[in-house]
Structure 1
Amino acid sequence: METTQTFDRLVRAEFAPRSTYLNTASNGLLPARTVAALHEAAVLRAEGRPLTPLHEDVEACRAAYARLAGVPVTRVATGASVAAHTGVIAASLPAGAEVLTADDDFTSVLNPFHVRGDLKVRAVPLERIAESVRPGTALVAVSAAQSADGRVADLPALREAAREHGARTYVDFSQSAGWLPMAADAFDFSASVSFKWLLGPHGAAFLVVPEDFGGLTPVLAGWVAGEAPWDSCYGPVQELARSARRFDLTPALFTFAGLRRSLELIEELGVAAVHAHDVALADRFRAGLADLGHTPVPAPGSAIVSVPGLGGRQGELSRAGIEVSDRAGNLRAAFHLYNTPDDVDRLLAALAG
């Protein structure tokens, strides 16, 4: 009981949405502490004071994400997008290498492999991805939770299949980091944006690499990728960072200033508690849909619910103050820590009407 009260108290202190916001799969809401940190960062620069505290925020975010991902901080690189991180991985593969992907996965985890033009990219249904790993598969790339409909990949099965055939693994946690416990240590590479379930501003993403860097070349490296960044501002970098920081991109400092506070909140609440809260709401919505005669895309255990045929109602729902997404004709609702059973019931009542 005390744990529930603490969870509710922390959430109430940080969020006061003016709508029934069920669209975290697009963008998470910013906590009040994050908004305050963004303002403080802007004032710091406006007043011409040293930006050292903002660079410290980057390192604090790196450490927080490492804890959430379950990996040493030396394996975490910071950047701006999953697409850029995928591009670094794609650049490391030899011509003709086979990359196994899931049908219609999010573009950022797929497209860099396609634009290479000399890789064999094979797509299969998500449910068959583990059984489709075969001798000669160089890399399996998949989202932990599908953006379009919330289906959760069987990552343990995928890991075992990849291990059996000597394939490497790349997992995009963008739609699960923050509500679904991560075990990034089980995979060769993984990435995530931070503006969805991690509740941060836009402009920050993380990449996890093996301790030996997994054969990646830091093709996007600039001065921040140097072992001594401030001594690497001119001419070629003389020594790349000895950690995953060699894959860093120049940070959006304001973003990391805010993100630090968002990650602190996620850690205070605990991913296990967030997971239980989010999935309970999603299951309540699924039960209500059944009562209305609607069948969502099967995605047991997911905080994302996608309902075929109802996407066209997104506009009217938005006008009624209920924010969801229209994804390929499906209505997508995403339930996170600031949502309540009343939010679920309001959406169900609107759909019934």
Structure 2
Amino acid sequence: MDATAPTTDFQDLLAAEYAGVVPGWLNTATHGLPPARTAAALRRALDSWAAGRPDLDGYEEAVAAARSGYARLVGVDAARVALASTVAGAVGLVAAALPAGAEVLAYEGDFSSVVQPFAGRADLRLRLAPLEAIADQVRPSTALVAVSAAQSADGRVADLPAIRAAAAAVGARTLVDGTQAVGWLPIDPGQYDFTITHGYKWLVSPHGACFLTVAEHAEQALSPAFAGWYAAEDPWAGTYGPVARLAPGARRFDARPAYLPFVGAAASLSLLLDLGVAAVRAHDLALAARLRTGLASLGLACLPGDSPIVSLPSPPPWVPERLTAAGIRFSTPADSVRLSPHLHSTQADIDTALNALS
């Protein structure tokens, strides 16, 4: 299946999946909203658990479906996808495998989960640079470049092709955090050594469903020292003592999945596959463009960009006050107002926000 091609009427499907959402949530960069199919799957799982009939086989099927769905969405083989629970934990797996003295290049203002695992190792050399200068700052001593595809604070999109080329020229590995990008921005994990995406934002999944891709040539760079029984080739056949045989591919780096988040992720990913990344991107960027144009007409300067994350740096205090009074939900990272429309958002949400500020 082509994950970039819509397979059904886009707006009708969104209307059905988000019929019960209270208008005004323009805060996907903090947390996405689950579609109806995801809420229903979670309710079924909770009800059976509460009734004393937890569906363990169903949980396992959902975990497999989530892994497969994520792989299809980003266009890699499912064997390249490991399960994680947090971005910091997955980055930490990479950080722990680096040799002492290795140089890591990262963006100076990136999300802490991408940077802190490297900063937490005193024997690594962490070098920080402006986002626009990352590719130019790669040097022969660089062992790894780590960067978010889209920045959490302001939505700026990294020049990933330039970073990849610069890293390849010196033999450095690459780590890309897709948490603020995958779902609306096409990213090919096959082009990078490691990619990590937590699903609770643009994949509209629950907290705790996180995915790590490991390129085949990069497997030997990681240690299975953190592997548990779930990373075994046959997890249920060897739950005691040392794991006799680790799973092939990236699955050997699996963290034991929390079942309910992956039950939700399987359902949410099925919606994104039904919609197609290209259609989601067009929807999100059209709403963001409408918002940026409207803000500019009101004399409110927002950062330019081709991202559904719209940032108003250091706005007047009446901006968040009026948005709140109008029922618009947003966030305020780094002394800014951040608005981020996604699947559940409509033109009416954008117009409500703009009318509140006019």
Q: Same fold (TM over 0.5)?
A: yes
Cα 1:95–1:9 shift into 2, 3 Å: same
Does 2:36 align with 1:20?
no
Does 2:40 align with 1:40?
no
CA contact (8 A) 2:129 2:137 kept: yes
Amino acid at match of 2:253: F
Query: CA offsets, 1:117-169, max 9 Å, x none?
Result: 11111111101111111111000000000000000001111111111111100
Query: CA offsets, 1:45-89, max 9 Å, x none?
Result: 233334111111101110111111221111100110111000000
Query: CA offsets, 1:2-36, max 9 Å, x none?
Result: x7981111001111321301000000001111011
Q: Percent identity?
A: 52
CA–CA distance in structure 1, aligned partners of residues 342 and 291 of structure 2: 13
Tell me the equivalent position of 1:308: 313
Tell me the equivalent position of 1:136: 141
Secondary structure of the structure 1 residue equivalent to 2:128: strand
CA contact (8 A) 1:74 1:211 kept: no
Amino acid at match of 2:119: H
Tell me the equivalent position of 1:249: 255
Tell me the equivalent position of 2:332: 326
Which of 233, 243, 254 is 2:239 aligned to?
233
Greater relative CO, 1 or 2 (CA 8 Å, sep 6+): 2
Cα 1:232–1:4 shift into 2, 3 Å: closer
State the 4+ residue runs in structure 1 displaced beyond 6 angstroms.
none
CA–CA distance in structure 1, aligned partners of residues 96 and 89 of structure 2: 11
CA contact (8 A) 2:84 2:212 kept: yes
CA contact (8 A) 1:78 1:247 kept: yes
Which of 279, 282, 287 is 1:276 aligned to?
282
TM-score (normalised: structure 2): 0.94
Secondary structure of the structure 1 residue equivalent to 2:224: coil
Tell me the equivalent position of 2:162: 157
Amino acid at match of 2:268: S
CA–CA distance in structure 1, aligned partners of residues 294 and 50 of structure 2: 50
Tell me the equivalent position of 1:203: 208
CA–CA distance in structure 2, aligned partners of residues 173 and 318 of structure 1: 29
CA contact (8 A) 2:37 2:267 kept: yes
Amino acid at match of 2:204: L
Instruction: Give unmatched runs, 5+ long, in structure 2.
Output: 1-5
Instruction: Give unmatched runs, 5+ long, in structure 1.
Output: none
Tell me the equivalent position of 1:6: 9
CA contact (8 A) 2:326 2:352 kept: no
Secondary structure of the structure 2 residue equivalent to 1:235: coil
Tell me the equivalent position of 2:99: 94
Query: CA offsets, 1:267-299, max 9 Å, x none?
Result: 10101000011011111111111111122123x
CA contact (8 A) 2:230 2:256 kept: yes
CA–CA distance in structure 1, aligned partners of residues 195 and 342 of structure 2: 22
Which of 213, 221, 224 is 2:227 aligned to?
221
RMSD, aligned α-carbons? 1.5
Post-superposition shift, 1:349?
1.5
CA contact (8 A) 2:322 2:356 kept: no
CA contact (8 A) 2:154 2:338 kept: yes
Cα 1:4–1:57 shift into 2, 3 Å: closer
TM-score (normalised: structure 1): 0.95
CA contact (8 A) 1:171 1:187 kept: yes
